[in-house]
């Protein structure tokens, strides 16, 4: 009997281990007697190290080494876990005599105990030449303070940067004659929007251990999203052949993009390479907030023009973004801000310009949504305003503007849209959210004002023509399968989803598929878990490998049954004859014969996949809020997400992904408020100062799927990982406007700002 796997809500493969506290993370399998690494960090935003005296640090008992900029290889590299050649500038050494933000590493201490390492840090004497710093990203471009002037700074590919101007990268694209299109519009609106640098706030902090194995190969165990990129970058930074480096990814306690950058890996590998001893570096929560990476802070100027009947004819998006002290992940983010936002308005001519600049602040990096989140907030907020001015329902305004399957999308790199149920997402959302009935604001019994808002969004599925994913499947000698993948499960459940894809092809139980954890020595290559690519790209590789293995099994089974392969079929029990149900060979018997008889091949199949098209998932988000007019406090009371992510491989896991992303979007909209002092010191270095939504802040969240079969995805699937975070910000800010008439052009929306605006309204009315 054939078993159905795709479309079923199987529990995650590691669910039992996680809930029982038995899941194995990096620190659980670190070798005993690891040297403990601690970092001395810069107290200044911009300074040169004139001298550094580490002699006193060695007086602390248990200190094994103290390393400074004079001890590191003079090799420029990037922390960005991207496919080579990376589009991020090579602007780092492991340590440097120029520190560029408060928190930049100055010295590395490795000791046998944590206390010894911390004591040694206090004994290092550093003389700094403190220089002017630029902490305001709007003043960074062409500032007299030049953050990167090193002669060996370089890029692998042109990204439109100029370090002499503090310009990391720039991007410009257009379509049609936007200026003429604006002139033909009946209404033109424009405004400038600001978003903050959000912390990814994953549960497990950055952590890595390293040791030399019995073959004297440098082995790294790390909480990373990009094991294979990690191997390559470590080898480059330490001037080692990749064959001498091995990376193992155990269970990861969340990443959300943060662990697409190598925050702890290179330093840990460097210590073990220097000392020959096992070592580990575990960042504190404070270090995660102050010395890792965050979402890019942005200023987004949006101009939108439409006809009186609601057709958007022109969009102009001008973006300035804060890349911080180092430029990893900036260029790809600059593309996504506009190219995963503007295409939603199919009739529009457009201009999109983006400039990302260096500042003397903590570097920006990857965070779920990767630029599209900020772009969605700005463009969708402007779309809601346009609908209000024109007197058109916001949902209908979207329906008459969105692209349909079969249409070319100029702003989406000229691709033709192959599948979309976005119109259905909007219609279903309106029906299930009771949109029309709830559109008028209402006063609650406690005196608050309740109102609703909505937004739409799109994302991508993988990076086309660049990211390669591979998979290998073995038939084992008792009839179960081993699935070897390089995709990094970072809590998303991709091990389970990819097992379901394999099980569906092989027509067996998902329990017969055993996924292996990632080890660069044994796993087939995969670019890693980012860009919403695992199900769509890695899943296609799994499907192709499983199809190849299925064909081999049927061929071998048919040979033993002495019938033609085309007269056989495979299920989880074995190979059957289509014509006679009594003719059958079990998988157990077949696999044992394949192992034991010397004239048989061991059955294994490998496949790779690189997408040529990044299938966009879509979502319509609907939010209800209550606003307290006396305090300005906003509470999200209801949220509905209607999603087209193609065929839903595992509805329960997809629903959990969606709910988690929506909660993060609510945090960005209302709570997460990164603040810096004028000197570049971050004010929010713990969860006491950096507020994320708690269980009490999470509203009722309903998820509905409206799947469109995507012909380029495995079993018709598209991605879901990132699209779900984008709509809360514009939907919530629109709901606030509908409730109390306060427009929000800055995130997060603070209660005091709403209160001030309401007071101004009252004064004007009086």
Query: Is-contact 48 146, C-beta < 8 A?
Result: no
Which tokens belong to 433?
């959210």
DSSP assigned state of 453: E
pLDDT band at 474 (very low <50, low <70, confident <90, very high): very high
Q: Which of 171, 165, 173, 148 is nearest to 89 (CA)?
A: 148
Distance CA 450, CA 635 (A): 9
pLDDT band at 306 (very low <50, low <70, confident <90, very high): very high
Which residue, 584, 610, 636, sits at the end of a domain?
610
Which residue, 357, 391, 414, sits at the end of a domain?
414
Question: pLDDT tens digit string along 191-216?
Answer: 999 999 999 999 999 999 999 999 99
Question: pLDDT tens digit string along 58-110?
Answer: 999 999 999 999 999 999 999 999 999 999 999 999 999 999 999 999 999 99
Question: pLDDT tens digit string along 119-151?
Answer: 999 999 999 999 999 999 999 999 999 999 999
The pLDDT assigned to 598 comes to 61
Distance CA 435, CA 56 (A): 69
- CB neighbours (10 Å) of residue 436? 11
Q: Over pLDDT 70: what percentage of the chain? A: 99
Residue 42 predicted with pLDDT over 90: yes
Residue listed under structure tokens 């009722």: 700
Question: Could you tell me if 57 and 38 lie in one domain?
Answer: yes
Residues ≥6 apart with Cβ < 8 Å to 340: 371, 372, 375, 376, 412, 457, 458, 459, 460, 616
User: CATH code at 706?
Assistant: 3.30.365.10
Residue 15 predicted with pLDDT over 80: yes
| 5 belongs to a structural domain | no
The pLDDT assigned to 102 comes to 98
Cβ-count burial 673-704 (b if 16+ within 10 Å, e if not): bbebeeebbbebbeeeebebbeeeeebebbbb
Question: Could you tell me if 706 and 762 lie in one domain?
Answer: yes
**What mean pLDDT comes out for the span 460-489?**
94
Which tokens belong to 712?
């380029």
Residue 344 predicted with pLDDT over 90: yes
**What mean pLDDT comes out for the span 399-412?**
97
Question: Could you tell me if 599 and 619 lie in one domain?
Answer: no
| 61 belongs to a structural domain | yes
- Which H, E and C letters describe 423-441, residue by residue? HHHHHHHHHHCCHHHHCCC
| 10 belongs to a structural domain | no
Residue 437 predicted with pLDDT over 80: yes
Which tokens belong to 83?
């496919």
The pLDDT assigned to 601 comes to 67
The pLDDT assigned to 594 comes to 86
Question: Could you tell me if 518 and 540 lie in one domain?
Answer: yes
The pLDDT assigned to 599 comes to 61
**Can the peptide bond before residue 281 be classed as cis, meaning omega within 30 degrees of 0?**
no
Residue listed under structure tokens 């603070």: 750
Question: Could you tell me if 213 and 124 lie in one domain?
Answer: yes
Question: pLDDT tens digit string along 579-636?
Answer: 998 999 999 999 988 887 666 667 999 999 999 999 999 999 999 999 999 999 999 9
pLDDT band at 357 (very low <50, low <70, confident <90, very high): very high
The pLDDT assigned to 766 comes to 63
Residue 9 predicted with pLDDT over 90: yes
Residue 1 predicted with pLDDT over 70: no
**What mean pLDDT comes out for the span 733-746?**
97
The pLDDT assigned to 736 comes to 98
The pLDDT assigned to 763 comes to 74
| 8 belongs to a structural domain | no
Question: Could you tell me if 619 and 602 lie in one domain?
Answer: no
**Continuous segment of H or E residues that includes residue 303:** strand 297-306
The pLDDT assigned to 255 comes to 97
Beta strands in 359-467 (DSSP E): 408-409, 415-416, 442-443, 449-458
**What mean pLDDT comes out for the span 559-573?**
95
Which residue, 290, 318, 341, sits at the end of a domain?
290
Question: Could you tell me if 171 and 246 lie in one domain?
Answer: no
**What mean pLDDT comes out for the span 324-331?**
97
Q: How many CA atoms lie within 13 A of 170 on its CB side?
A: 12
The pLDDT assigned to 590 comes to 93
Residue 45 predicted with pLDDT over 90: yes
| 527 belongs to a structural domain | yes
Residue 541 predicted with pLDDT over 70: yes
| 270 belongs to a structural domain | yes
Q: What is the mean pLDDT of the chain?
A: 96
The pLDDT assigned to 219 comes to 98
Q: Which of 484, 469, 751 is nearest to 628 (CA)?
A: 751
Question: Could you tell me if 138 and 224 lie in one domain?
Answer: no
| Coil vs helix vs strand at 247 | strand
Question: Could you tell me if 204 and 188 lie in one domain?
Answer: no
Range of the structural domain that residue 141 is part of? 132-198+295-414
Residue 44 predicted with pLDDT over 70: yes
Specify the number of domains making up the chain: 4
| 561 belongs to a structural domain | yes
Distance CA 668, CA 528 (A): 26
Question: Could you tell me if 625 and 705 lie in one domain?
Answer: yes
The pLDDT assigned to 595 comes to 80
Question: Could you tell me if 119 and 222 lie in one domain?
Answer: yes
Distance CA 308, CA 386 (A): 10
The pLDDT assigned to 596 comes to 76
Q: Which of 287, 365, 360 is nearest to 324 (CA)?
A: 360
Question: Could you tell me if 404 and 467 lie in one domain?
Answer: no
| 282 belongs to a structural domain | yes
Question: pLDDT tens digit string along 224-276?
Answer: 999 999 999 999 999 999 999 999 999 999 999 999 999 999 999 999 999 99
Which tokens belong to 441?
């604001």
């Amino acid at each position: 009997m054939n078993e159905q796997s795709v479309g079923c809500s199987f529990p995650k493969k590691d669910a039992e281990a996680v809930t029982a506290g038995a899941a194995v993370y990096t620190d659980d399998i670190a070798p005993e007697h690891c040297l403990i690494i601690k970092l001395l960090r810069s107290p200044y935003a911009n300074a040169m190290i004139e001298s550094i005296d580490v002699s006193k640090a060695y007086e602390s008992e248990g200190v094994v080494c103290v390393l400074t900029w004079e001890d590191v290889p003079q090799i420029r590299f990037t922390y960005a876990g991207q496919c080579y050649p990376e589009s991020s500038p090579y602007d780092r050494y492991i340590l440097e005599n120029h520190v560029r933000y408060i928190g930049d590493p100055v010295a590395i201490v490795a000791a046998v105990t944590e206390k010894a390492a911390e004591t040694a840090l206090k004994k290092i004497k550093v003389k700094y030449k403190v220089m002017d710093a630029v902490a305001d990203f709007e003043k960074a471009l062409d500032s007299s303070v030049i953050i990167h002037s090193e002669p060996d700074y370089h890029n692998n590919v042109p990204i439109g940067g100029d370090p002499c101007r503090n310009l990391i990268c720039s991007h410009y694209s257009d379509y049609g004659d936007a200026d003429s299109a604006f002139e033909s519009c009946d209404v033109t609106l424009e405004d400038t929007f600001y978003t903050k640098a959000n912390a990814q706030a994953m549960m497990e902090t950055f952590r890595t251990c390293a040791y030399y194995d019995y073959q004297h190969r440098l082995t790294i165990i790390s909480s990373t999203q990009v094991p294979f990129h990690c191997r390559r970058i470590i080898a480059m930074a330490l001037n080692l052949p990749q064959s001498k480096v091995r990376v193992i990814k155990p269970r990861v306690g969340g990443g959300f993009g943060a662990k697409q950058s190598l925050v702890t890996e290179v330093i840990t590998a460097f210590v073990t390479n220097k000392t020959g001893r096992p070592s580990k570096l575990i960042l504190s929560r404070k270090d995660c907030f102050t010395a890792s990476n965050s979402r890019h802070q942005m200023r987004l100027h949006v101009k939108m023009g439409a006809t009186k009947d609601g057709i958007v004819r022109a969009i102009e998006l001008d973006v300035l973004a804060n890349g911080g002290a180092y430029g990893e992940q900036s260029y790809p983010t600059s593309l996504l801000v506009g190219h995963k936002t503007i295409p939603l308005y199919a009739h529009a001519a457009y201009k999109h310009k983006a400039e990302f600049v260096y500042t003397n602040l903590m570097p920006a990096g990857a965070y779920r949504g990767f630029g599209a989140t900020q772009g969605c907030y700005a463009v969708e907020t402007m779309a809601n305003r346009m609908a209000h001015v024109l007197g058109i329902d916001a949902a209908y305004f979207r329906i008459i503007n969105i692209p349909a399957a079969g249409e070319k999308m100029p702003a989406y790199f000229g691709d033709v849209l192959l599948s979309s149920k976005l119109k259905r997402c909007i219609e279903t959302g309106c029906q299930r959210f009771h949109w029309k009935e709830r559109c008028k604001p209402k006063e609650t019994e406690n005196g608050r004002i309740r109102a609703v808002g909505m937004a739409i969004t799109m994302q991508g599925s993988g990076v086309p023509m660049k990211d390669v994913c591979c998979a290998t499947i073995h038939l084992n000698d008792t009839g179960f399968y081993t699935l070897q993948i390089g995709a990094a499960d970072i809590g998303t459940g991709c091990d389970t989803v990819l097992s379901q894809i394999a099980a569906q092809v092989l027509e067996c139980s998902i329990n017969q598929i055993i996924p292996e954890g990632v080890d660069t020595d044994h796993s087939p290559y995969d670019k890693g878990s980012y860009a919403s690519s695992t199900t769509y790209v890695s899943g296609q590789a799994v499907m192709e490998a499983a199809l190849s293995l299925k064909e081999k099994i049927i061929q071998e089974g048919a040979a033993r049954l002495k019938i033609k392969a085309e007269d056989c079929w495979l299920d989880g029990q074995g190979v059957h004859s289509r014509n006679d149900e009594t003719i059958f060979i079990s998988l157990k018997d077949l696999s044992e014969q394949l192992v034991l008889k010397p004239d048989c091949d061991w059955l294994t199949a490998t496949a790779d996949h690189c997408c040529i098209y990044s299938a966009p998932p879509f979502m319509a988000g609907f939010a209800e809020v209550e606003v307290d007019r006396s305090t300005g406090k906003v509470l999200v009371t209801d949220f509905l997400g209607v999603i087209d992510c193609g065929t839903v491989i595992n509805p329960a896991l997809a629903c959990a992904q969606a709910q988690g992303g929506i909660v993060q979007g609510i945090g960005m909209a209302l709570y997460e408020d990164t603040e810096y002092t004028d000197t570049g010191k971050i004010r929010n270095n713990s969860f006491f100062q950096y507020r994320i939504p708690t269980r009490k802040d999470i509203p009722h969240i309903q998820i509905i799927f409206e799947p469109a079969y995507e012909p380029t995805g495995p079993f018709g699937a598209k991605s879901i990982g990132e699209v779900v975070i984008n709509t809360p910000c514009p939907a919530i800010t629109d709901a606030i406007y509908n409730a109390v008439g306060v427009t929000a052009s800055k995130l997060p929306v603070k209660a005091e700002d709403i209160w001030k605006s309401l007071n101004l309204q009252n004064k004007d009315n009086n």
